[in-house]
């Protein structure tokens, strides 16, 4: 399985076709299909910061331990920002480290791309701040799930797969990734790329750095924000991480109230 969370600029991968929000497809995946777990082999699975938040919380691991054990970070020529991928097992099939004969070992907290499969979603931030979505459907030869199941649209499928929270938090990053300066050619330097991984993926270390004052917000945290973070609210911390990177990259200083946040209450 290749990553199905597509950036808006991604080229259309093999076996993919675009889908509108009203196009339907039939699909059913269950432990009785002959291809059970085949999509968890030959893995090339990109992880979003919210994916890592969910997985490290489920496994009760410090984010630094999780990164060291399960994540490969790539930042190569031609990549704007670093990418994080889930490590694979050394079994000759590049299997997911979480798959077993019984299926996914982290099912309730599986990453965005696993939830979306066999569909994919691209999101981009318009100039008015709204998020535009594009969908694709992948019919990879190994996947036999298209033989049965109810007709459904991609948004209906995503709803059933519990993607709403994932999309909300993943979309928060668009403020950074689709910032006008990024569109104009900004690429982080080495130190800024390290900040990106620290803030977005190594949340527990980021929290410690903020709480001890080694990382400073130009707009100091309110007592309420400080209490929220010290109580261990990783979702609030992830939003703060985006704010901090906007400050460090673009010298923009927003309070949580003034932050042009996509509506998380929706
Ligand atoms: S996290 Fe779960 S669903 Fe995703 S590839 Fe691994 S085993 Fe499969
Ligand atoms: S039907 Fe498709 S998604 Fe389900 S187990 Fe088989 S390959 Fe994976």
Ligand 2: centre distance to CA 11 (Å): 23
Is the shortest distance between the CB of 35 and ligand 2 below 6 Å? yes
Candidate from 70, 88, 109, 111 with most ligand 1 atoms within 8 A of CB, to mutate:
111
pTM above 0.85, yes or no: yes
Is the shortest distance between the CB of 98 and ligand 1 below 6 Å? yes
What contacts 24+ positions apart, CB below 8 Å, involve 225-230?
225/256
Residue nearest to atom 4 of ligand 2 (CA): 29
Domain ranges of the chain: 5-162, 177-265
Is the shortest distance between the CB of 89 and ligand 1 below 6 Å? no
Q: Which ligand is nearest to the CA of 139?
A: 2
pLDDT in tens, the chain (266 residues): 655 444 444 567 789 999 999 999 999 999 999 999 999 999 999 999 999 999 999 999 999 999 999 999 999 988 999 999 999 999 999 999 999 999 999 999 999 999 999 999 999 988 888 899 999 999 999 999 999 999 999 999 999 999 999 999 999 999 999 999 999 999 999 999 999 999 999 999 999 999 999 999 988 888 998 899 999 999 999 999 999 999 999 998 876 665 444 434 33
Look at residues 231, 107, 227 and name the one whose alpha carbon lies nearest to residue 256: 227
Q: What share of the chain is helix, strand, coil (3-state, %, to 5)?
A: 40, 15, 45
């Amino acid at each position: 399985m290749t990553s199905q969370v597509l950036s808006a600029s991604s080229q259309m991968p093999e076996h993919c076709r675009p889908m509108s929000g009203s196009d339907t497809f039939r699909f059913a995946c269950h432990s009785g299909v002959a291809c059970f777990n085949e999509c968890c082999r030959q893995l090339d699975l990109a992880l979003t910061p919210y994916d890592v938040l969910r997985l490290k919380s489920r496994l009760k691991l410090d984010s630094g331990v999780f990164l060291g054990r399960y994540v490969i970070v790539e930042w190569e020529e031609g990549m704007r920002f670093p990418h994080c991928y889930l490590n694979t097992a050394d079994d000759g099939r590049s299997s997911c480290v979480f798959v077993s004969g019984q299926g996914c070992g982290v099912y309730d907290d599986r990453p965005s791309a696993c939830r979306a499969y066999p569909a994919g979603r691209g999101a981009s931030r318009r100039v008015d701040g709204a998020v535009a979505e594009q969908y694709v459907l992948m019919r990879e030869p190994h996947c036999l799930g298209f033989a049965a199941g109810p007709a459904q649209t991609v948004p209906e499928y995503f709803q059933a797969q519990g993607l709403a929270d994932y999309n909300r938090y993943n979309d928060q990053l668009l403020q950074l990734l689709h910032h006008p300066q990024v569109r104009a050619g900004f690429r982080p330097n080495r130190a800024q790329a390290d900040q990106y991984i620290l803030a977005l993926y190594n949340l527990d270390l980021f929290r410690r750095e903020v709480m001890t004052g080694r990382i400073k917000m130009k707009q100091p945290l309110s007592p309420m924000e400080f209490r929220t973070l010290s109580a261990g609210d990783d979702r609030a911390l992830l939003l703060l991480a985006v704010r901090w990177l906007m400050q460090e990259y673009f010298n923009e200083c927003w309070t949580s109230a003034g932050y042009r946040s996509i509506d998380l209450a929706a």
